[in-house]
Amino acid sequence: MKKNPEKENIIISDRSERFKLGALFDFSNVVNASLDLKFVLGHFLLTLMGKLLSLRSIVLLERKSGIYVVENIKGLPADLMGSEYTIRRVPKSIIYVNSKTIKSHSWLKLFQKYKLNLIVPLVAHGRSVGIAGFAPKLPTKKLTANEATYVKSLANIAAIAIEKGLFINELNNVNRQLDKKVRELYTLFDVGKELNSVFDKDQIIKLLLFSIMGQIGTNRYILCLDDYGDMKIVASRFEKLPSKSVCAYFHNINNATLVENIKDKNATNWKSEMLEVGIRVLIPLKVQNKTKGILALGDKMHGEIYTREDLEFLTSLGNIAMISLENARLFKEAIEKQRMEDELLIAREIQKGLLPSSLPDIKGFDCAAINISSREVGGDYYDIIQLSQNHFLLAIGDVSGKSSPASLLMANLQATIRALAPLGLSLSELTSRVNDLICDNTSGGRFITFFWGLLHSDSRKLQCVNAGHNPPFLVRSDGSVERLTAGGMLLGIMKSVQNYEQAEVCFNSGDVLVMFTDGVSEAMNTKGEEFGEVTIPEIVKTYQNESSEKIMQKIINKVNEHSAGTIQSDDITMVVVKAT
């Protein structure tokens, strides 16, 4: 029987196409499974180098408009890493480096210098995210149509993964900045507390300087305090001290300033002297808007630059210390008030936006929620987070304590939940992880009562875990009442030794779930009697045919009626979910 060459070629071609598609699929799986940008770039370069038989390659990513940075290289000088280049008008198709293309795109000279003759743009969602260059084994030979299609497909897959990696990197940077801010806030709270309990001048100065060294990372400082009009040095760790004329100039400093940024022409000589001494930053220490001291700092120990956030932190810390130094005994009450006002301003900024401004629409359910703080800031927390089209996380918690410390721990809880929720773990395991993180991030004596549930809106099932919180009421449409108690210990008491118990309930039309904090049940009347919990399901039954908003408001009205004539002593938080 005769063989059919044409048929055999078709079969070989079909196998080749299937192999390429399989390779692309495998490549896509690998790069999209990784959040490590460096790995994605390296895998992309090595994959195409193998295909093109290239011994050298490079990839640049656009970090700012028109500014591309070398992020990964293979077979090229190491000093290229991190280099920046201005690149305009990046085509969206493969480019071959030659005299004609260089004339149109002068930036191709960079690639020509290292004999990288094949340029592959990385385009995601119609936008250039980077450029890759390769040195094929046969530099003068152009890719076939099939090869070009394969390279473009690989580059498109890589570009999307790179774009995701860049976003993850940016998110990590933001999280690091937030972590630093939280650490700074804790330092301000802790140092403020210590300063207000110390009445010895030397002890206050020592505490201030130790805090700066620990938080900012510099061991070069000068502390000057006003002494009847003269700015005198009271502490120093510079080899050379500034002259009296420079110290007198310190009275003119009204805002945190980098010495190199001083523009006052009359201060040119003083500026030069300060730079010669090694002073890099000036932080005014003020009382009643008057500069009563100066904190002058040298370079950081690891060479980092001073950021705007550093200056804000140092200003806050310096002012707190100055108030204590000005008159620790006579102004003790004023210092505490100022410290608390600073705490509340900072805590209010942290807490702002933590509670949802609006609730997501859940098909088949009607939701309402309310939070009434007993002070400017509080420790109650609730959230309804949409994880997917049919999955919603319902959460409520109550942090022990009041005001700013409680609000900070609440922020910690909220951030932890938002970070862990998308992991796809069971609610039981997630609760254990939340507990362990809270234990790691809090000192003894702080704990959280917490309840959350994962609502499947399509199946109307609720998987839930109760960590020592007031058991929510599930009032059925037939009048029966269930308490959701399954779970485990409070968060923050001790690390988990086993996962929390998880329960599951199913909603029927008309069922109403009421989640609340103890500010509802423990609301006192003028006789010292608590509102209690048993009244809650009775109110729900009375208004079960109404909306969740109206049911919630009826409960709040009853609480207010009960506690009329008394001061609200605790935060009131409630979430009502009704199956329609």
We report the CATH number of the domain holding residue 57 as: 3.30.450.40
Which of 295, 322, 348 is the last residue before a domain boundary?
348
- Encode burial over 37-60: b for 16+ CB neighbours within 10 A, e otherwise: bebbbbbbbebbbebbebebbbbb
- Encode burial over 335-362: b for 16+ CB neighbours within 10 A, e otherwise: beebbeebbbebbeebbeebbeeebeeb
Tell me, yes or no, whether 179 lies in a domain.
Answer: no
- Lowest mean pLDDT segment, chosen from 51-55, 247-251, 293-297, 405-409: 405-409
Q: Give the tens place of pLDDT for each residue, 68-123.
A: 999 999 999 999 999 999 998 888 889 999 988 988 888 999 899 999 999 999 99
**Burial grade of 1 (CB within 10 A; 0-12, 13-18, 19 or more):** exposed
Which of 297, 327, 348 is the last residue before a domain boundary?
348
Tell me, yes or no, whether 4 lies in a domain.
Answer: no
Q: Give the tens place of pLDDT for each residue, 329-344.
A: 465 566 667 776 776 6
The answer to whether residues 518 and 376 belong to one domain is yes
Q: Which of the 8 DSSP states describes residue 444?
A: T
Give whole-number Cα distances, 374 to 42, 473, 520, in Å: 55, 24, 12
Mean of pLDDT over the chain: 87
Give the H/E segment covering residue 560: helix 548-562
Q: Give the tens place of pLDDT for each residue, 497-547.
A: 888 999 999 999 999 999 999 999 999 999 989 999 999 999 999 999 999
When mean pLDDT is compared over 176-185, 380-389, 394-403, the highest value belongs to 380-389
Give whole-number Cα distances, 556 to 98, 479, 483, 540, in Å: 76, 21, 20, 12
Tell me, yes or no, whether 178 lies in a domain.
Answer: no
Identify the pLDDT of residue 331. 55
* Cβ contacts of 530 within 8 Å, gap of 6 or more: 521, 522, 523, 524
The answer to whether residues 387 and 426 belong to one domain is yes
Distance (Å, whole) CA 386 – CA 291: 51
The answer to whether residues 234 and 164 belong to one domain is no
Instruction: Report CA Rg, the chain.
Output: 32
Identify the pLDDT of residue 351. 67
Give the three-state DSSP class for 175. Answer: helix
Identify the pLDDT of residue 334. 61
Tell me, yes or no, whether 188 lies in a domain.
Answer: no
The answer to whether residues 518 and 371 belong to one domain is yes
Would you mind telling me the total number of residues written for the chain in this entry? 580
The answer to whether residues 366 and 510 belong to one domain is yes
Position 66 confidence tier, pLDDT thresholds 50, 70, 90: confident
Identify the pLDDT of residue 99. 87
Tell me, yes or no, whether 174 lies in a domain.
Answer: no
Distance (Å, whole) CA 335 – CA 321: 10
Residue 18 has pLDDT above 90, yes or no: no
The answer to whether residues 469 and 513 belong to one domain is yes
Contact between 561 and 535 (Cβ < 8 Å) = no
Distance (Å, whole) CA 452 – CA 430: 10
Residue 3 has pLDDT above 60, yes or no: no
Which of 348, 379, 413 is the last residue before a domain boundary?
348
Identify the pLDDT of residue 469. 95
Distance (Å, whole) CA 338 – CA 116: 63
Amino acid at 483: R
The answer to whether residues 38 and 74 belong to one domain is yes
Tell me, yes or no, whether 183 lies in a domain.
Answer: no
* Proportion of the chain above pLDDT 90, given as a percent: 47
Identify the pLDDT of residue 281. 94
The answer to whether residues 341 and 363 belong to one domain is no
Q: Which of the 8 DSSP states describes residue 114?
A: T
Identify the pLDDT of residue 460. 96
Position 19 confidence tier, pLDDT thresholds 50, 70, 90: very low
- Mapping DSSP onto H, E and C, the string for 455-521 reads EECCCCEEEEEEEECCCCEEECCCCCEEECCCEECCECCCCCCCCCCCEEEECCCCCEEEEECHHHH
Q: Say how many domains are in the chain.
A: 3
The token pair that represents 395 in the structure block: 């959460």
Stretch 296-317: mean pLDDT: 90
Q: For the whole model, what pTM was predicted?
A: 0.45
Distance (Å, whole) CA 258 – CA 296: 10
When mean pLDDT is compared over 61-65, 193-197, 291-295, 362-366, the highest value belongs to 362-366
Q: Give the tens place of pLDDT for each residue, 431-442.
A: 999 999 988 887
Q: 441 or 466: which carries more pLDDT confidence?
A: 466
Residue 451 has pLDDT above 70, yes or no: yes
The token pair that represents 76 in the structure block: 């090229």
The answer to whether residues 510 and 419 belong to one domain is yes
Identify the pLDDT of residue 10. 46
The answer to whether residues 517 and 486 belong to one domain is yes
Tell me, yes or no, whether 180 lies in a domain.
Answer: no
The answer to whether residues 276 and 397 belong to one domain is no
Stretch 345-363: mean pLDDT: 78
Residue 24 domain boundaries: 12-169
Position 11 confidence tier, pLDDT thresholds 50, 70, 90: very low
* Cβ contacts of 388 within 8 Å, gap of 6 or more: none
The answer to whether residues 502 and 417 belong to one domain is yes
Identify the pLDDT of residue 9. 46
Q: Which of 350, 447, 450, 477 is nearest to 393 (CA)?
A: 450
Residue 552 has pLDDT above 80, yes or no: yes
Tell me, yes or no, whether 104 lies in a domain.
Answer: yes
Q: 333 or 463: which carries more pLDDT confidence?
A: 463
What CATH number is attached to the domain comprising 363? Answer: 3.60.40.10
Residue 58 has pLDDT above 70, yes or no: yes
